[in-house]
Chains A and B, each alone.
Chain A
Amino acid sequence: MKATYREALNQALREEMRRDDRVFLIGEDVAYYQGAFKVSKGFLEEFGSRRVVDTPITELGFTGLAIGAAMAGLRPVVEVMTFNFAILAMDQIVNNAAKIRYMSGGQLSVPIVIRGPGSAAHQLAAQHSQSLEAWFCHVPGLKVVAPATPHDAKGLIKSAIRDENPVIFIEAQLLYPMQGEIGDGDYTIPLGVAEVKRPGTDVTLIAYSKMLLVALEAAEKLAQEGIQAEVVDPRTLRPLDLTTLAASAKKTGKVVVVEEGWPFAGLGAQIAESLYRQVFDYLDGPIVRVTGRDAPMPYARDLEDAAIPDADQVVAAAHQVLYRT
């Protein structure tokens, strides 16, 4: 069955809400407006205002409230209109959601999903275009998921909702209209399991979320030169499936990590460090990172294009690890 990323999420959330009365959706404009990006289309009609809850524009307040509801046994799905606004709820996410289980010595738990789009779209400028996954991945107690395909989005959001821990689920505005084949009915994809999206033997390209599409495009270009790139999508960023990533790195001996976020202390640095610890002796050379540029996102289209990794940069990075210039 074909579905867009948006439809896949809509289906999954709908199925989970039908399955479990404890699941409810809360956020800005999720009910009457049907979601800023229409992920919750039809929800108010089906589930009513008890379970599809419009909030005022107060991320700290409604995220904290949802964390409290989770402590009392409900399973909230918080929609942040974009992850930029989750910064306002950072204290609630880091100091409460992530730590309440630990601080209580295991007495309380916080089964919550906080989801919405991250990264850049088109010319939304600095405050609406950023990739904050590294912030969340840094925090023990949180799980972080960033699916790239409709199939993965559906299977992973279901696992996230059924998980007993707080899960940060990062979507992307530019992925919502993307179409793909999705599984039938009630399937789940476990958190913490990467997938090889394109097999290859010469070089490993690790990429997640929107950057998976860039990596796949690069792999296609490399194939035309006779280079077989293996593209691996971690899908879950914390916990990271190092086993799958390491197996590919071991096989090819050459690794490129692609991320849209800023380079300094970015997720690619962590992935590279983890791989060095496991497979250093199998690598033919240093891991190369392709990242967003080290500046706030500019508005001007040309500058924005230059700030975000593209397939040509990934191809160039692959050439670098293959010592082809």
Chain B
Amino acid sequence: MERAHLVHLYTQMLLIRRFEERTAEMYALGKIGGFCHLCIGEEAVAVGAVDALRPDDYVFSAYRDHGHCLARGSDPKRVMAELFGRVTGLCKGKGGSMHLVDAERRFMGGYAIVGGHLPLAAGVAFAVKYRGGDQVVLCFFGEGAVPSGACHETLNLAALWGLPVLFLCENNRYGMGTPVERAVALYSDVAQNAAAYGIEAGRVDGMDVLAVRDAVGKAVEQVRTRQRPYFLEAVTYRFLGHSMADPAHGHYRTKAEVDEAKKRDPVLLLRTRMLSERLATEADIKRIEQEVAQIVREAVEFADASPVPPVTALEEDVYTS
């Protein structure tokens, strides 16, 4: 991979990391409300996967969607403004943290009923096939969605009808506080669930952005050319709590386990690699850090200075006239 590409991936991951850290601060200050799920620790999956797509491909996400949206190139100002509930937000303040949508970038949204967006992703793929297009639909979801009926019905339909969807399961081990082995019968390799429907499946280290980029690149190519779904499990870990409402480890996992996982921090892994392979200097890393800090600072300033939606907007966008 070329140096510039690596720098781009690193910058994207760092942007998501710093954006999420500032989001936590803004949440603590009461600028952001509601349920808010941060993806710190899972940046490599978002960045590596989205990097393998074309601009005309589609992306679906669940409620932990900030990273996916930023990776797709959405303006951090408008993402932060959405979290602030401001009229300048991507969805004019009506969606919030869990429902980011950027239709222009074919980021089809974050959905907050676990498993409920998988059929939608298959439906967009159905439309692609119906029209004879060659776009791919990338659908992110957590391992918590794997045992849901929505997931199994969708896998069956996608396999049955040869739909161009890449099901990307972000296995961060926990569905809120319940570990995968207490939720999924075939937990040691959740991709086996897809195999039951004749869907080709693979597994990748979700902390290694280059491995993710490579695996998703191959999977996307296969989906596009063969017009068949693919199921990829990215093994990752969430460094913070399930949402802003709970601590990093709580009762369901130990601090030691979290600390152990942090040794494979995806941002640090790539940084170390770039430095050791002399693909970047300390000065480069420092410059990127400053650039990202500037973007995030401006995003917060933009959000904070933006007006709240007028009350007259409340009943707008319910129906298309």
Contact = CB atoms under 8 A, between A and B. Distances in A.
A64 B150 contact: yes
Contacts of A164: 319-321
Contacts of A285: none
B123 A68 contact: yes
A283 interface: no
Nearest to B103: A107
A65 B159 CA distance: 13
Interface residues of B, number: 43
B121 A104 contact: no
Interface string A39-69: 0000000000010000110101111111111
A63 B119 contact: yes
Nearest to A111: B320
B73 interface: no
A58 B156 contact: yes
A61 B94 CA distance: 27
Contacts of B185: none
A108 B119 contact: no
A69 to B, nearest CB: 4
Nearest to A109: B320
Nearest to B126: A69
A100 B316 CA distance: 13
A73 interface: yes
A140 interface: yes
Interface in B128-170: 128, 130, 149-150, 153-154, 156-157, 160
B303 to A, nearest CB: 15
Given A60-B119, A104-B94, 15 more contacts: A55-B157, A56-B153, A56-B160, A58-B157, A61-B119, A64-B150, A68-B119, A72-B127, A95-B113, A102-B94, A102-B318, A106-B92, A107-B103, A140-B318, A141-B319
A58 B156 CA distance: 10
Contacts of A95: 111, 113, 116
B130 A24 contact: yes
16 contacts: A55-B157, A56-B160, A60-B150, A62-B153, A64-B122, A65-B119, A68-B122, A68-B127, A72-B127, A73-B127, A95-B116, A100-B109, A101-B320, A104-B99, A109-B320, A111-B320
Contacts of B95: 103-105
B201 interface: no
A171 to B, nearest CB: 23
A256 B93 CA distance: 43
A34 interface: no
Contacts of A58: 153, 156-157
Nearest to B315: A140
B8 to A, nearest CB: 27
A56 B95 CA distance: 33
Contacts, number: 139
Interface size classification for chain A: 35 or more
B91 interface: yes
A61 B120 contact: no
Nearest to A104: B101
Nearest to A97: B120
For A68, A72, A73, the residue with the greatest tally of chain B CB atoms inside 10 Å of its CB is A68
A60 B103 contact: no
Contacts of A73: 127
For B94, B319, B321, the residue with the greatest tally of chain A CB atoms inside 10 Å of its CB is B319
A159 interface: no
Nearest to A164: B320
Contact of B94 (A92, A105, A141, A143): A105
Contact of A68 (B90, B91, B124, B321): B124
A101 B101 CA distance: 10
Nearest to B94: A105
Contacts of A62: 119, 153, 157
A188 interface: no
Interface string B94-120: 110001011100001101010011111
Nearest to B153: A61
Contact of B111 (A56, A96, A101): A96
B317 interface: yes
Nearest to B106: A72
A165 B320 contact: yes
Given A58-B153, A69-B130, A74-B130, A103 B91 contact: yes
Contacts of B94: 102-105
Contacts of A141: 318-319
B81 to A, nearest CB: 11
